[in-house]
Amino acid sequence: MDVLGAPTTLDEELYSRQLYVLGLPAMHRLQEGKVLLSGLQGLGAEVAKNLVLMGVGSLTLHDPHPTCWSDLAAQFFLSEQDLARSRAEASQEHVAKLNEAVKVCVHTGDITEDLLLDFQVVVLTASNLEEQLKVGTLCHKHGVCFLVAGTRGLVGQLFCDFGKDFIVQDPTEEEPQTAAIQHISQGSPGIVTLRKGADARYFRDGDLVTFSGIEGMIELNGCDPRPIHVQEDGTLEIGDTTSFSCYLRGGAVTEVKRPQTVSHDPLDVALLQPRVVAQSAQEGHRACCLHQAFRALHKFQHLNGRPPQPWDPADAEKVVDLARALEPLRGAEGELLDEALVRTVALSSAGVLSPVAAMLGAVAAQEVLKAISRKFMPLDQWLYFDALDCLPEDGEFLPNPEDCAPRGCRYDGQIAVFGAAFQEKLSHQRYLLVGAGAVGCELLKGFALVGLGAGANGGLTVADMDHVARSNLSRQFLFRPQDIGKPKAEVAAEAARRLNSDLRVTPLTYPLDPTREHIYGDDFFSRVDGVVAAVDSFQARYYVAARCTRYLKPLLEAGTQGTRGSASVFMPHVTEGYRGPASAAEDAPDPVCTVQFFPSTAAHTLQWAWGEFEGLFHRSAETINCDQQALTSLADRDRSQLLLLQVVVGVLRHRPRNWQDCVEWALGHWQLCFRHGIMQLLRHHPPDKVLEDGTLFWSHPKQCPQPLEFDASQDTHLLYVLAAANLYAQMHGLPGSRDQPALKNMLERLSLTDPQHPDSIFSSDLASTELGPEQVERLKEALQDWSEGSPLKPLRFEKDDDSNFHVDFMTAAASLRAQNYGIPPANRIQSKRILGQIIPAIATTTAAVVGLVGLELFKVVGGPRPLSAFRHSYLRLAENSFSRYVPPAPASQEFRHLTWTCWDRLKVPAGQPERTLESLLAHLQEQHGLRVKMLLQDSAMLYSAGWSPEERARCLSLRVTELVRLVTKRQVPEPGQRVLVLELSCEGEDDNTTFPPLHYEL
């Protein structure tokens, strides 16, 4: 075998987003996996791409067949130059370049029993039934996980056989449930009382749990999993605790996931008694009919030595006859075969479509991942996917054999399904792609394969302001290590052109947002046929959708989180408009006093740690630098500036000269935050403090804190000082140190000689408001220390550099804060995800949703379709859940004789000469019966019926553009602007009425 690539240790930076989906144990197992993939047409290429991006240990490619024109419709590793070359050999180098850590081999011989023994998983694509049965029998015999995947035009099939006793170590994607403990009794059984606010409903009878962070009853910390019984009052019985120490405080109870065992039938059995994945009985029946269609297609190929010809009625009838003659499926003897479904499958089965290959290849790769990592439940056992809804519902408009005959071009596989006329229509489309991240890269690959905008009058524009980072490489298919630091839009556009030299792509590095409407304005959108959104926030989606609604452009969008994904289509006047929230679905920030003094959750401690990082290493450096650059003396500064300087200097104390100074500062700040600060808080609010109503001050949700004692032998204590000292050194341009033993020795010496009470030049709580002449003089003396040397370097949080101590500092700070308050801390991985607002992501989900978007693109481009043709999709690969459903129709609103939806607008021409505001209001009343009481442009008030007669008279006589210029202080119209969009409110409307926008046509 020829081998490319070499093994390496797990690269946590590269796989950072994927780690949040799989976890370290599963990632390590994946890295050791060995996979044989036979069949390198479009479907096989998708499986290979996903496995290599995800970091499988080794992948062996097998496909001795020569490349042909129809392959190029979906096989993105091949090009016209590879025609007649072995698919596997032509693909190998391109596959290997996706991930240097993966060994990519080519096997050129037959698939033998001895060969199979070298692999954990074997995947067959584009194989005949005889080969599937032979290889499947051998794999089942030797305990090798076996998959069959195949596509025929708009339908796909996937089969999994993981053997009789396959153990799934971690069946679900969800994190184990955890809850904070209020008390644990000594007894038989011991009773765990959870803190108020913890929801015991997430625990179920028989769940296994373990414990951590308990003070007192330490015997439970890290104990073997214990079964629980959930009582009616929400407490948990955990078995005998009689002999354990008395519970004091703190701790968390955490669910331990149970492994599950899966039993699969071999292919020869499953072929006649299929277990299909279906969300309903109706889907189950359709899947069984597709099962028979695939069997009949195999039979047709065996008898005729070829597949059915594209849209050949005679061949299709032969396939239907073969399906009728098949042995009935066991357990489904009474069910009728859907002959119309089988006929449609046969008519379109000669084609190869990249969106179908992307969808099925993603699911197949996810099943390979499950087999190797033993994470998530595998398919049981057959999955059938069909997108026959892409075909016209009216049979008169279906393709004909002449239009679908091969042309000897890269789109032959697609022409075989939709015809040459449709291919021509695709090539003339002009589309805007917003976002060139993971989803955007996959979309560009798909556009290149289908030929979107590849004609003389077509084109694509890709907009993204971001730059390629190393963590992108495990999911963002078009980027390579040499692209790090370059603009994503430019790199992605160039890579897409390499996939299809006819593709016309224009990269734009400006964001599509309100600040760039002079770029993405009326002229721009007048040249666009549709928009595809590949953005990663609800706020961005909402804005893109609003632009599509304004300009009546179709919108396709997709998003992922872990193994969950969605794909949606929004068609003007056909479907509803996008209705997602205008901002990310994140909770509002917690009150400052809660975060600062009364935290009760790990999230509170992380918010506090973020504030510490920003205050200590960013804002303080900026404040000192601004002071050094100031042209005025302290005596001339206002009180707020002096107070800020006083606080900053009180925190920083003095300018360090070496590493030991930085360590001393870090140790002093540790004492201030986790010992003296807590002691001071308890002096103000003692543990037994009682409020006027008789309740304890320290009662839910407040947790009474306890000061910590510094101990260099505790990892978290040492990590905090190490990280804080290094950050302090970075800020001052000093060399740091990673030598933990040396740091530990230094801390032991410092602890012996210095009690580390934070006696700064100002009060230790940094809250003094005294600013008399004495304080100002002392501040001046202290600032003199900072005038020497170069300016400080403000540190900006960077989540993807694990060597910079940013995440280390905040994780340690939050953990120590959690110890103060008896809160279960977040671990480093959880902390990094929360602090960096990282969305868990994996290549398979991305590829799947992009395939689903591609199918809707065919419908959008194909011409007018009814609502019933379109599909929103939602999938959960970890749970084998696949849902496609017709989107809602647009909601209607009524006002008197008017009826409208979100896609409607009131159009009024400006006229020549341009009309006045008075003329505009009269036109609206005469033409639509609307008496306007308020008119706005964005948030600017142009007119109100409530104004005085004099004010109204001044406005009514002005031309509309003149009025807008006067009120907004902006140039109107702007270059290229064709329409002024105005909002109106009318007499007689109720609170729920939102009138359509007024488009004032210039």
**Active-site residues: which are they?**
593
CB atoms within 10 A of CB 117: 12
Q: Which residues sit opposite 998 in a β-bridge? A: 906, 982
- Tokens 């004692």 -> residue: 709
Instruction: Identify how many contiguous H helices and E strands the chain contains and give both numbers.
Output: 32, 32
Q: Which residues sit opposite 566 in a β-bridge? A: 559, 874
* Beta strand pairing call for 103-106 and 58-62: parallel
* Beta strand pairing call for 226-227 and 166-168: unpaired
737: tokens are: 């140190």
- Tokens 């605790």 -> residue: 241
φ, ψ of residue 308 in degrees (nearest 5): -60, 145
Q: How far is the C-alpha of 684 from the C-alpha of 681, rounded, in Å?
A: 5
CB atoms within 10 A of CB 610: 17
- CB distance 251 to 181 below 8 Å: yes
φ, ψ of residue 194 in degrees (nearest 5): -85, 155
Residues 6+ apart with CB under 8 A from 935: 917, 921, 941, 942, 943, 944, 982, 983, 984, 985, 998
- CB distance 703 to 598 below 8 Å: yes
- CB distance 318 to 300 below 8 Å: yes
Q: How far is the C-alpha of 742 from the C-alpha of 718, rounded, in Å?
A: 11
> Residues 887-916, buried b or exposed e (16+ Cβ, 10 A)?
beebeebebeeeebebbbbbebebeeeebb
Long-range contacts, stretch 768-772, CB < 8 angstroms, 24+ apart? 768/646, 769/643, 771/639, 771/642, 771/643, 771/646
Q: 917-928 and 949-956 helices cross at what angle (nearest 10)? A: 90
φ, ψ of residue 774 in degrees (nearest 5): -65, -45
Three-class SS of residue 220?
helix
Q: How far is the C-alpha of 932 from the C-alpha of 946, rounded, in Å?
A: 11
Compute, in degrees rounded to 10, the torsion defined by CA atoms 16, 19, 20, 21.
130
CB atoms within 10 A of CB 439: 30
- Tokens 């302001």 -> residue: 465
Residues 6+ apart with CB under 8 A from 280: none
- CB distance 492 to 479 below 8 Å: yes
- Tokens 């999994």 -> residue: 160
Q: How far is the C-alpha of 24 from the C-alpha of 11, rounded, in Å?
A: 11
376: tokens are: 């998530």
Where would I find the beta strands (DSSP E) of 869-1001?
A: 872-876, 881-885, 893-895, 898-900, 906-909, 932-937, 940-944, 979-986, 998-1001
Q: How far is the C-alpha of 525 from the C-alpha of 519, rounded, in Å?
A: 10
284: tokens are: 């189950």
- Tokens 């031309």 -> residue: 959
Q: How far is the C-alpha of 78 from the C-alpha of 71, rounded, in Å?
A: 8
Q: How far is the C-alpha of 853 from the C-alpha of 533, rounded, in Å?
A: 10
370: tokens are: 């499950």
Q: Specify the DSSP class assigned to residue 307.
A: P
